[in-house]
Amino acid sequence: MTHGAVPETEIPGGKFSKRNIIHALILVVFLVPLNYALIVTLKPSLPAPAASNTATPAPASTNTANRDSYLSMGLNLYNNADYPGALKAWQKALEYDPKYELTYNNIAVAYGKMGDWEGQKKYCEMALAIKPDFELAKTNLFQANEALKKKQK
């Protein structure tokens, strides 16, 4: 790497510079209505077939791949305004990785799009229980609380 060059980050599906990732995230934050932030999955694919009925747990890499597949599917559904479908996909992603804060944030955003501010608040709090400094979840929690205040008036 030459001096001043942007380092590359290995992401499933290829290498991307940190600058490109940051630009993509900035675009998502400013292009998503009401400043809701979603995870951008860079490797869209269909979910892997279900595992056999054996008691052996799937390797962590398989769980991550399945999680990412459902996150991507949910994002596609969300972008097509199918919020209930996105919720189902993201809830399925939780089965593969129940400690991934971005999934909870995505679910929260979908609940907010459907006007379920209590659901948004609940899932933002769950994301923050996993990662207390998660700014996107803090922002979405603030939005849910503000909507709930307006609703009570």
pLDDT digits (tens, 9 = 90+) for 97-116: 999 999 999 999 999 999 99
pTM for the complete prediction?
0.63
Per-residue pLDDT at 117 exceeds 80: yes
Domains of the chain with bracketed CATH: 1-31 (no CATH), 64-153 (1.25.40.10)
Per-residue pLDDT at 33 exceeds 70: no
pLDDT in tens, 7-22: 444 445 555 556 655 5
- Percentage of the chain beyond pLDDT 70 is 60
Q: Is 11 helix (H, G, I), strand (E, B) or coil?
A: strand
What secondary structure, in 3-state letters, does 55-115 show? CCCCCHHHHHHHHHHHHHHHHHHHHCCCHHHHHHHHHHHHHHCCCCHHHHHHHHHHHHHCC
